[in-house]
Amino acid sequence: MSDLELVALRGIREVRPGDDLPGILADALAPHGPREGDILVVTSKVVSKAEGRVRPADEREQAITEESVRLVASRAHPGGITRIVEHRTGLVLAAAGVDASNTDDGTILLLPIDSDASALAIATHLRERFGVALGVVVSDTLGRAWRVGQTDVAIGAAGVRVLEPLAGQLDAGGRPLVVTAPAIADEIAAAADLVAGKADGVPAVLVRGLGRHVGDLTEPGASRLVRRSGDDMFRLGSDEAYRAGREAGRIEGIAEAGGRHGG
């Protein structure tokens, strides 16, 4: 296993809607001599800016509603209400990913329309320009159930094996692995954030030493990491699940009463 190297690509100018983001990233990457198996981690914010996913800040609540397909949980607090929702892409996160950090005053950023497609466009451009197979991960910051704090995860990917199923292999003690499957793309995104930082204005990080996880551009994107509803044991927040259970019981009680009176 090779050593891991992470390099923050500093000096990238402010990206505006309509900018050629793949070209900008390629120019920033060029001085580092891109190699076969390199991975570029790009923050979703810079992708959203280039794609024009910018709205006035006073439309925040409307934007959250428009980007959401399901309310998972909500909590009132002195500053308002926090909504944990299922985003239209399947991600479950606070405020549908709508964010006011690292953007112009008075504006908010929405997540990219299709982060896998965005990653594919960047990866395609980089491979064509440099003639080597590079992978791309689009990252965003998510909170986690049962854990305090946030970490970066992959919401888009291209040319990277986002998941490494190890079932059937043996651990160091010779015991078979049954369900182990590291989320490689999430681990790469989190590692890159340690270099970029939240307040340093670094939108991209070069990750070197993980070439074994770089593959064809036909590799499944980060959407593969979204847990499907049929496998999700915790689809609702506790309060929401309780209310749903009470409502179901109330309806069942009304139906039973109607059946008795009707008989």
Containing structural domain, residue 254: 233-263
Amino acid present at 38: D
Task: Report how far Cα 12 is from the mean position of its chain's Cα atoms.
Answer: 22
Q: Is residue 124 located within the same domain as residue 134?
A: yes
Of 235 and 48, more confident: 48
Q: Is residue 196 located within the same domain as residue 257?
A: no
CB contact at 8 A, 126 and 116: no
Segment among 32-46, 115-129, 248-262 with least mean pLDDT = 248-262
Of 236 and 32, more confident: 32
**How high is the mean pLDDT of the chain?**
89
Number of domains in the chain: 2
Q: Supply 46's token pair.
A: 């810079």
Name the 3-class secondary structure at 168.
coil
> Is 70 exceeded by the pLDDT of residue 235?
yes
Q: Is 46 exposed, middle or buried (0-12, 13-18, 19+ CB in 10 A)?
A: buried
Rounded Cα–Cα distance for residues 170 and 178 (Å):
9
pLDDT-based confidence at 231, cuts 50/70/90?
confident
Q: Is 254 exposed, middle or buried (0-12, 13-18, 19+ CB in 10 A)?
A: exposed
CB contact at 8 A, 97 and 91: yes
pLDDT-based confidence at 80, cuts 50/70/90?
confident
Residue-wise pLDDT tens digits, 173-200: 776 655 568 999 999 999 999 999 777 8
3: DSSP letter: P
> Is 90 exceeded by the pLDDT of residue 168?
no
Q: Is residue 203 located within the same domain as residue 133?
A: yes
**pLDDT value of residue 251:** 62
pLDDT-based confidence at 241, cuts 50/70/90?
confident
Domain of 47, CATH number, reads 3.30.1330.100
Task: Report how far Cα 237 is from the mean position of its chain's Cα atoms.
Answer: 20
Segment among 28-32, 133-137, 161-165, 203-207 with least mean pLDDT = 161-165
Q: Is residue 243 located within the same domain as residue 153?
A: no
Q: Supply 184's token pair.
A: 């490689």
**pLDDT value of residue 200:** 80
Q: Is residue 145 located within the same domain as residue 256?
A: no
Is residue 26 included in any domain, yes or no? yes
**pLDDT value of residue 204:** 98
- For 156, phi then psi, to 5°, come to -150, 150
Prediction pTM value: 0.87
Q: Is residue 132 located within the same domain as residue 257?
A: no
